[in-house]
Amino acid sequence: MVPATAYLALSAVLFTLGAAGVLVRRNALIIFMSVELMLNSVNLAFVTFARQHLSIDGQVIVFFVLVIAAVEVVVGLALIVDIFRSRETVDIDDVDLLRG
């Protein structure tokens, strides 16, 4: 049996990859995928702890996260499409209307 620490380590690696992706990439779609990666790394951690503590709570929360991620994708993709329509770019650094 694979120890729980391995799953948690994988989760941490995935989260770090996702966070790094969000911070360094400029393409909005890639950033989006990175966010999904972060969410799923968290899901993995939840499932791991649920299994370890024999508690159903962690698994339930995963469903919530999945639902929220789906909703977020709907809104986010709509935003990206709209940004592309109005500015013909998905480069996140070009969208700086709120610069002070």
Binding site for other proteins (CB under 8 A): 19, 22-24, 26, 31, 92-93, 95-100
Q: Of 21 and 43, which CB lies nearer to other proteins in the complex structure?
A: 21
CB of 18 to other proteins, least distance (A): 11
Task: Report the distance separating Cα 36 and Cα 41, nearest Å.
Answer: 9
Task: Report the distance separating Cα 44 and Cα 6, nearest Å.
Answer: 11
CB of 43 to other proteins, least distance (A): 18
DSSP assignment of 43-89:
HHHHHHHHHHHT-SHHHHHHHHHHHHHHHHHHHHHHHHHHHHHHHS-
CB of 19 to other proteins, least distance (A): 6
Residue with tokens 């480069």: 91
Q: Of 88 and 96, which CB lies nearer to other proteins in the complex structure?
A: 96
Q: Of 9 and 60, which CB lies nearer to other proteins in the complex structure?
A: 9
Q: Of 13 and 60, which CB lies nearer to other proteins in the complex structure?
A: 13
